[in-house]
Amino acid sequence: MAPRVNDGTITSKRAMNRGAWTPEEDRKLAQCIEIHGPKRWKTVAIKSGLNRCGKSCRLRWLNYLRPNIKRGNISDEEEDLILRLHRLLGNRWSLIAGRLPGRTDNEIKNYWNSHLCKKVNQKVEKPESSTRHEIIGQNDQNAGDNRAMSENEVEINESGNLDVSLDVNEFFNFSEESFGFDWLNKYLELDQIPESTERSE
Protein backbone atom coordinates (compact mmCIF):
# COMPACT_ATOMS: atom_id res chain seq x y z
CA MET A 1 0.00 0.00 0.00
CA ALA A 2 1.21 3.40 -0.87
CA PRO A 3 2.06 5.68 2.01
CA ARG A 4 -0.75 8.04 2.71
CA VAL A 5 0.46 11.52 2.02
CA ASN A 6 -2.90 13.07 1.53
CA ASP A 7 -6.14 11.16 1.41
CA GLY A 8 -8.42 14.10 1.74
CA THR A 9 -9.32 13.50 5.35
CA ILE A 10 -6.06 14.29 7.03
CA THR A 11 -5.39 17.24 4.82
CA SER A 12 -4.94 20.42 6.76
CA LYS A 13 -7.61 19.67 9.32
CA ARG A 14 -7.24 23.18 10.69
CA ALA A 15 -8.20 24.81 7.44
CA MET A 16 -11.17 22.65 6.43
CA ASN A 17 -14.75 23.34 7.39
CA ARG A 18 -16.13 20.53 9.52
CA GLY A 19 -19.31 19.67 11.28
CA ALA A 20 -22.91 20.01 10.16
CA TRP A 21 -23.67 21.31 6.70
CA THR A 22 -25.60 24.54 6.36
CA PRO A 23 -28.39 25.04 3.79
CA GLU A 24 -26.12 27.50 2.02
CA GLU A 25 -23.37 24.91 1.72
CA ASP A 26 -25.88 22.38 0.43
CA ARG A 27 -27.04 24.83 -2.18
CA LYS A 28 -23.49 25.60 -3.34
CA LEU A 29 -22.61 21.93 -3.48
CA ALA A 30 -25.73 21.06 -5.46
CA GLN A 31 -25.01 23.85 -7.90
CA CYS A 32 -21.44 22.74 -8.38
CA ILE A 33 -22.43 19.11 -8.89
CA GLU A 34 -24.94 20.26 -11.47
CA ILE A 35 -22.04 21.70 -13.41
CA HIS A 36 -19.28 19.18 -12.79
CA GLY A 37 -21.31 16.08 -12.11
CA PRO A 38 -21.25 13.80 -9.06
CA LYS A 39 -17.66 12.70 -9.69
CA ARG A 40 -14.29 14.36 -9.40
CA TRP A 41 -15.06 15.23 -5.81
CA LYS A 42 -11.87 17.11 -5.27
CA THR A 43 -12.72 19.37 -8.18
CA VAL A 44 -16.24 19.80 -6.84
CA ALA A 45 -14.87 20.64 -3.41
CA ILE A 46 -12.52 23.26 -4.84
CA LYS A 47 -14.88 24.76 -7.40
CA SER A 48 -17.73 25.04 -4.93
CA GLY A 49 -15.55 27.14 -2.67
CA LEU A 50 -16.91 25.31 0.33
CA ASN A 51 -13.61 24.68 2.07
CA ARG A 52 -14.68 21.08 2.55
CA CYS A 53 -12.72 18.02 1.50
CA GLY A 54 -13.87 15.96 -1.46
CA LYS A 55 -14.88 13.06 0.71
CA SER A 56 -17.10 15.27 2.80
CA CYS A 57 -18.80 16.64 -0.33
CA ARG A 58 -19.29 13.15 -1.69
CA LEU A 59 -20.86 11.93 1.54
CA ARG A 60 -23.18 14.89 1.75
CA TRP A 61 -24.31 14.41 -1.83
CA LEU A 62 -24.80 10.67 -1.59
CA ASN A 63 -26.62 10.73 1.71
CA TYR A 64 -28.75 13.86 1.47
CA LEU A 65 -28.64 15.88 -1.69
CA ARG A 66 -28.89 13.47 -4.55
CA PRO A 67 -32.31 13.15 -6.16
CA ASN A 68 -34.81 10.39 -5.40
CA ILE A 69 -33.47 9.88 -1.95
CA LYS A 70 -35.82 8.51 0.70
CA ARG A 71 -35.51 9.71 4.25
CA GLY A 72 -36.83 7.95 7.34
CA ASN A 73 -39.91 5.74 7.62
CA ILE A 74 -38.29 2.46 6.77
CA SER A 75 -41.17 0.15 5.97
CA ASP A 76 -41.65 -3.36 7.35
CA GLU A 77 -40.89 -4.71 3.93
CA GLU A 78 -37.65 -2.78 3.76
CA GLU A 79 -36.73 -3.82 7.27
CA ASP A 80 -37.30 -7.46 6.43
CA LEU A 81 -35.23 -7.01 3.32
CA ILE A 82 -32.39 -5.47 5.28
CA LEU A 83 -32.45 -8.32 7.76
CA ARG A 84 -32.32 -10.92 5.03
CA LEU A 85 -29.65 -9.14 3.06
CA HIS A 86 -27.57 -8.72 6.18
CA ARG A 87 -27.73 -12.43 6.80
CA LEU A 88 -26.59 -13.00 3.30
CA LEU A 89 -23.99 -10.27 2.92
CA GLY A 90 -22.93 -9.26 6.41
CA ASN A 91 -22.01 -5.65 7.06
CA ARG A 92 -21.67 -4.75 3.41
CA TRP A 93 -23.93 -1.78 3.67
CA SER A 94 -23.33 -0.41 0.22
CA LEU A 95 -24.42 -3.68 -1.34
CA ILE A 96 -27.48 -3.81 0.88
CA ALA A 97 -28.28 -0.19 0.10
CA GLY A 98 -27.98 -1.00 -3.58
CA ARG A 99 -31.01 -3.24 -3.25
CA LEU A 100 -33.10 -0.61 -1.48
CA PRO A 101 -33.90 2.16 -3.92
CA GLY A 102 -33.52 5.61 -2.42
CA ARG A 103 -31.79 4.35 0.69
CA THR A 104 -28.17 5.05 1.51
CA ASP A 105 -25.58 2.81 3.06
CA ASN A 106 -25.16 5.25 5.92
CA GLU A 107 -28.86 5.26 6.68
CA ILE A 108 -29.09 1.49 6.59
CA LYS A 109 -26.01 1.16 8.72
CA ASN A 110 -27.44 3.56 11.29
CA TYR A 111 -30.80 1.81 11.20
CA TRP A 112 -29.14 -1.52 11.71
CA ASN A 113 -27.01 -0.33 14.60
CA SER A 114 -29.87 1.40 16.38
CA HIS A 115 -32.81 -0.90 15.66
CA LEU A 116 -32.14 -4.19 13.96
CA CYS A 117 -28.99 -5.15 15.81
CA LYS A 118 -31.00 -5.36 19.02
CA LYS A 119 -33.79 -7.29 17.36
CA VAL A 120 -31.38 -9.84 15.99
CA ASN A 121 -29.64 -10.20 19.32
CA GLN A 122 -32.98 -10.76 21.04
CA LYS A 123 -33.81 -13.50 18.58
CA VAL A 124 -30.47 -15.16 19.10
CA GLU A 125 -31.16 -15.23 22.81
CA LYS A 126 -34.26 -17.34 22.10
CA PRO A 127 -32.79 -20.61 20.84
CA GLU A 128 -36.16 -22.42 20.95
CA SER A 129 -37.25 -20.35 18.00
CA SER A 130 -34.03 -21.09 16.24
CA THR A 131 -34.46 -21.40 12.52
CA ARG A 132 -31.90 -21.43 9.80
CA HIS A 133 -32.06 -17.64 9.87
CA GLU A 134 -31.31 -17.27 13.52
CA ILE A 135 -28.50 -19.76 13.30
CA ILE A 136 -27.01 -17.80 10.47
CA GLY A 137 -27.64 -14.61 12.36
CA GLN A 138 -25.33 -15.82 15.08
CA ASN A 139 -22.53 -15.41 12.63
CA ASP A 140 -23.28 -11.74 12.33
CA GLN A 141 -20.56 -10.90 14.79
CA ASN A 142 -18.17 -12.21 12.20
CA ALA A 143 -19.87 -10.34 9.44
CA GLY A 144 -16.96 -8.00 9.04
CA ASP A 145 -14.82 -10.94 8.12
CA ASN A 146 -16.86 -11.30 5.00
CA ARG A 147 -14.76 -8.57 3.51
CA ALA A 148 -11.89 -10.98 3.45
CA MET A 149 -13.91 -13.43 1.40
CA SER A 150 -14.09 -13.47 -2.30
CA GLU A 151 -16.55 -11.00 -3.74
CA ASN A 152 -18.10 -13.88 -5.59
CA GLU A 153 -18.69 -16.18 -2.68
CA VAL A 154 -21.00 -16.10 0.28
CA GLU A 155 -20.22 -18.74 2.80
CA ILE A 156 -23.13 -18.54 5.14
CA ASN A 157 -22.23 -21.15 7.70
CA GLU A 158 -18.66 -21.69 8.63
CA SER A 159 -19.51 -24.98 10.33
CA GLY A 160 -19.69 -26.58 6.93
CA ASN A 161 -23.24 -27.81 7.33
CA LEU A 162 -24.69 -25.17 5.11
CA ASP A 163 -22.08 -23.67 2.90
CA VAL A 164 -23.91 -21.83 0.21
CA SER A 165 -21.53 -20.68 -2.42
CA LEU A 166 -22.90 -18.41 -5.08
CA ASP A 167 -21.92 -15.62 -7.37
CA VAL A 168 -23.28 -12.48 -5.76
CA ASN A 169 -22.99 -10.45 -8.92
CA GLU A 170 -24.92 -13.05 -10.81
CA PHE A 171 -27.38 -13.59 -8.03
CA PHE A 172 -28.12 -9.89 -7.84
CA ASN A 173 -28.77 -8.22 -11.10
CA PHE A 174 -27.00 -4.92 -10.59
CA SER A 175 -28.48 -3.24 -13.60
CA GLU A 176 -30.08 0.13 -12.94
CA GLU A 177 -33.57 -1.14 -13.70
CA SER A 178 -33.50 -3.98 -11.26
CA PHE A 179 -34.76 -2.14 -8.22
CA GLY A 180 -37.86 -4.28 -8.04
CA PHE A 181 -38.30 -7.10 -5.62
CA ASP A 182 -38.33 -9.94 -8.13
CA TRP A 183 -34.84 -10.90 -7.21
CA LEU A 184 -35.97 -11.15 -3.60
CA ASN A 185 -38.46 -13.82 -4.47
CA LYS A 186 -35.56 -15.79 -5.83
CA TYR A 187 -33.79 -15.43 -2.53
CA LEU A 188 -36.89 -16.22 -0.53
CA GLU A 189 -37.26 -19.40 -2.51
CA LEU A 190 -33.62 -20.11 -1.82
CA ASP A 191 -34.39 -19.40 1.79
CA GLN A 192 -36.41 -22.57 1.96
CA ILE A 193 -33.71 -24.81 0.67
CA PRO A 194 -34.72 -28.45 0.88
CA GLU A 195 -32.55 -30.50 3.23
CA SER A 196 -30.99 -32.41 0.38
CA THR A 197 -29.85 -29.18 -1.22
CA GLU A 198 -28.60 -27.74 2.03
CA ARG A 199 -26.33 -30.67 2.52
CA SER A 200 -24.94 -30.56 -0.95
CA GLU A 201 -21.18 -30.46 -0.76
> Which parts of this chain interact with DNA (CB under 7 A)?
1-10, 13, 17-21, 39-43, 52, 54-56, 58-60, 63-64, 71-72, 91-95, 105-107, 109-111, 113-115, 143-144, 147
Opening angle at CA 150, ends 96 and 145, nearest 5: 70
How many other CB atoms are found less than 10 A from the CB of residue 58?
A: 20
- Give me the helix-helix angle, 182-191 and 76-89, nearest 10°: 60
Nearest-approach distance from CB 44 to DNA, in angstroms: 7
Shortest reach from residue 21's CB to DNA, in Å: 4
Contact 50, 19 (CB under 8 A): no
The DSSP code sequence of 72-85 is S---HHHHHHHHHH
Nearest to 184 by CA among 69, 75, 84: 84
As measured in angstroms, the least distance from the Cβ of 140 to DNA is 10
Give me the least distance between CB of 175 and DNA, in Å please.
16
Q: With respect to DNA, which residue has the nearer C-beta, 5 or 201?
A: 5
Grouping H, G, I as helix, E, B as strand and the rest as coil, residue 107 is: helix
In the complex with DNA, the residue whose CB is nearer, 64 or 193, is 64
Q: Is the Cβ of residue 164 or residue 168 nearer to DNA in the bound state?
A: 168
Looking at beta carbons only, is 18 or 126 nearer to DNA? 18
Distance CA 111, CA 117 (A): 9
Which is nearer to DNA, 38 or 193 (by Cβ)? 38
